[in-house]
């Protein structure tokens, strides 16, 4: 990917298009954590692509491209929310658990939807997108300790919601 970023930085439009295609799922998952409406998700992603294209020359480390791009996307989502678009519960994660049963996937989505957005987003960035704590801290402009705390609290909330669901299903 590093070589592709360098080509894109040199003005190769095909390389840039390939980079965007490679990262579309990641952008979708993050934008979907902010918006329920697919049109809003698409707007956030298209604005992000435009900003990335226009600002690619400002990227200092090609190996940090994905982090840089996700930061731009988060800024776009926050800007759209400030402009009056609704922030929503996370309702869908496509292809996250492709090897799991449909029931497990539905259960996972339901559990994520019950979490506060600040925990849900960090859990998605950490477990689904594979970002490190330091990268998440940089993306969300938080301290590393805040990210660790939210990750721990998010895990605990997820566990608590799962246990509630189990008790409810057991009729207790």
Q: What is the pLDDT of residues 5-48, one digit of tens each?
A: 899 999 999 999 999 999 998 899 888 888 878 899 999 999 99
Q: How confident is the model at residue 103 (pLDDT cuts 50, 70, 90)?
A: low
Rounded to the nearest integer, the mean pLDDT of the chain is 82
Q: Is the pLDDT of residue 166 over 80?
A: no
Tallying the residues shown for the chain, one arrives at 172
Give this prediction's pTM.
Answer: 0.64
Which of 19-23, 108-112, 126-130, 154-158 is modeled with the greatest confidence?
A: 19-23
Rounded CA-CA distance 57/48 in Å is: 15
Question: pLDDT at residue 143 above 90?
Answer: yes
Q: Is the pLDDT of residue 84 over 80?
A: no
CA separation, residue 33 to residues 21, 74, 125 (Å): 20, 10, 10
Q: Alpha helix locations (H) across the chain?
A: 2-9, 13-32, 38-55, 65-82, 102-114, 117-123, 133-140, 144-170
pLDDT value at position 46? 93
């Amino acid at each position: 990917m590093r070589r592709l970023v360098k080509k894109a930085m040199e003005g190769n439009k095909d390389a840039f298009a390939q980079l965007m295609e490679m990262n579309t799922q990641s952008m979708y998952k993050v934008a979907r954590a902010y918006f329920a409406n697919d049109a809003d998700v698409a707007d956030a992603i298209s604005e992000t692509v435009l900003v990335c294209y226009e600002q690619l020359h400002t990227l200092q480390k090609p190996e940090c491209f994905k982090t840089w791009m996700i930061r731009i996307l988060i800024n776009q989502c926050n800007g759209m929310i400030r402009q009056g678009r609704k922030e929503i519960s996370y309702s869908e994660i496509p292809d996250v658990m492709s090897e799991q049963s449909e029931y497990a996937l539905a259960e996972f989505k339901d559990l994520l939807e019950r979490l506060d957005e600040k925990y849900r987003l960090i859990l998605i960035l950490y477990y689904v997108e594979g970002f490190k704590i330091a990268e998440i801290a940089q993306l969300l402009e938080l301290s590393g300790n805040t990210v660790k705390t939210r990750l721990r609290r998010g895990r605990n909330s997820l566990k608590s919601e799962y246990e509630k669901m189990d008790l409810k299903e057991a009729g207790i």
